Amino acid sequence: MQSTRETLEELGWNDFFSAQVTTQQSKQCQPVRVMAVHRGKIAVAGAGALRFISPYISGAGPLDDHPTVGDWLLIDRDTAETVCVLRRMNLFKRRAPGDPRKEQMIAANVDTLFIVASCNQDFSVARLERYLVLAREVGVNPAVVLTKTDLTSTPETFAAAARAIQPGLCVELINCRDPKSVAHLASWCGRGKTVALLGSSGVGKSTLVNTLRGSDSIATQAIRTGDDTGRHTTTVREMHRLARGGWLLDTPGMRELQLSDAAEGISEVFDDFIQMAQRCRFSDCAHGGEPGCAVQTAIAAGALKMERFGRWRRLAAEDGVRSARRSKRPR
């Protein structure tokens, strides 16, 4: 029989979380991790079996106080009511689709992010950059996982485009359906570690999780032939266990990833532009044709790419507008 501590550690428990629990709380409460978020209920696992509880916390305030997948909660030993969400190592959020004033939590307490995209006509550098900005902002180590290498004769072209986004970025090429091709990805996901998979619908997130687990328990579905986009098959954010002990967090494909308050992430991913902009003559240079603009000079000389400049401006403008709008909101 393994101890409670060992069971919790397999779920990702560590000193960061245990240090937050008071002696009083440890008598009355037990820690559990949110394994899945369903409509109106959450699945949690701890020292006991998996069970479903209400996501409701009495007295909870803003969105961040509520549980999301990957969270550690303290629940009452008698009533199973959630007492609190423990402070997170990290939290992935985005602007809620359809309502830019709201945020949506994606996942918490993630060790590695797999940014999943496929080697087909749905591939987009701009989209990869958005996910990468999110990972840098949140402070979680990312790897770009490019799928469907079996369906293209030029997988390296896709990999090169992804690698060009940021020096040192880890880019993996795989066929999700082939156990041999995906096996090495399991090394990111050791005992108690959580790897979250984010990406558009149809890129193969669930297929990858199934193959790594040697199972077909998660539903997958063929993509549309016209434009290679997916059919939004996965609807639940859910953690899946690997035999060797780690966790893969499968998520529903995102139509759009609208970032919120991501200035730091943007400046990390576009560090080449940030560095160059420091050499512009005017400190408030908008790089739109001002005299002495180092950015435009570098673009003209071919040292920086025009398309990348456009994407950087778009992300920065989007983030600036959002952050300004938010800071005006009454608290």
Ligand X SMILES: Nc1nc2c(ncn2[C@@H]2O[C@H](COP(=O)(O)OP(=O)(O)OP(=O)(O)O)[C@@H](O)[C@H]2O)c(=O)[nH]1
**Least distance in Å: CB of 85 to ligand X?**
26
Cα gap 122→78, rounded to integer Å: 50
* Footprint on residues 152-211 left by Zn ion (CB under 5 A): none
Cα distances from 277 to residues 129, 132, 223, 298, 304, in angstroms, run: 19, 21, 42, 10, 11
What is the footprint of ligand X within residues 248-277 (CB under 6 A)?
252-253
Residues 36-65: x/- map of binding to Zn ion (CB under 5 A)? ------------------------------
**153-171 b/e (C-beta count within 10 Å ≥ 16 → b):** eebeebbebbeebbeebeb
Helix extents (H) in 46-149: 125-138
The residues in 223-252 that bind ligand X, with binding defined as CB under 6 A, are: 223, 230-234, 252
Within 10 Å of residue 256's Cβ, how many Cβ atoms? Answer: 11
Q: Residue 117 and residue 31: Cα distance in Å, rounded?
A: 35
**234 belongs to the binding site for Mg ion (CB under 5 A):** yes
Pick between residue 61 and residue 288 the one whose CB is nearest to Zn ion. 288
* Distance between CA atoms of residues 256 and 14, nearest Å: 33
Instruction: Write each residue from 238 to 277 as x if it is in contact with Mg ion (CB under 5 A), else as -, in one continuous string.
Output: ----------------------------------------
User: Smallest distance from the beta carbon of 220 to Mg ion, in angstroms?
Assistant: 6
Closest separation in Å from C-beta 16 to ligand X? 30
Indicate the residue among 70 and 252 with the shorter CB distance to Mg ion.
252
Rounded least distance, CB 255 to Mg ion, Å: 14
Q: Minimum Å distance from CB 155 to Mg ion?
A: 22
Which among Mg ion, Zn ion, ligand X, none contacts residue 260 (Cβ within 5 to 8 A by kind)? none
Considering only the stretches 113-121, 129-137, 168-176, 275-283, report the one whose residues sit in contact with Zn ion under the rule CB under 5 A.
275-283
Gyration radius of the chain over CA positions: 22
Residue 76 or 216: the one with the smaller Cβ distance to Mg ion is 216
CB of 228 to ligand X, least distance (A): 9
Considering only the C-alpha atoms of the chain, give the largest distance between any 2 of them, rounded to a whole number of Å: 72
- Residue-wise DSSP of 309-327: HHHHHHHHHHHHHHHHHHH
> Would you say 205 or 287 has its CB closer to Zn ion?
287
| Partner whose binding site includes residue 54, from Zn ion, Mg ion, ligand X, none (CB under 5 to 8 Å by kind) | none
DSSP, residue by residue, 177-234: T-HHHHGGGGGGS-TT-EEEEEE-TTSSHHHHHHHHHT---S---PPPTTT-------
| Extended strands (E) in 60-160 | 72-76, 82-85, 91-96, 99-108, 112-118, 141-147
For Mg ion, which is the closer residue by CB, 66 or 213? 213
Give residues 179-218 in contact with Mg ion (rule: CB under 5 A).
205-206
**Residue number with CB closer to Mg ion (151 or 219):** 219
- Pick one of 12, 31, 202, 265: the residue that binds ligand X (CB under 6 A): 202
Structure tokens at 318: 């989007």
Which class for 1: exposed (0-12), middle (13-18), buried (19 or more C-beta within 10 A)? exposed
Cβ pair 281, 291 in contact under 8 A? yes
Binding mask 164-183 for ligand X (x = CB under 6 A): -----------xxx------
Question: Under the rule (CB under 5 A), what is the footprint of Zn ion?
Answer: 280, 285, 287, 293, 295
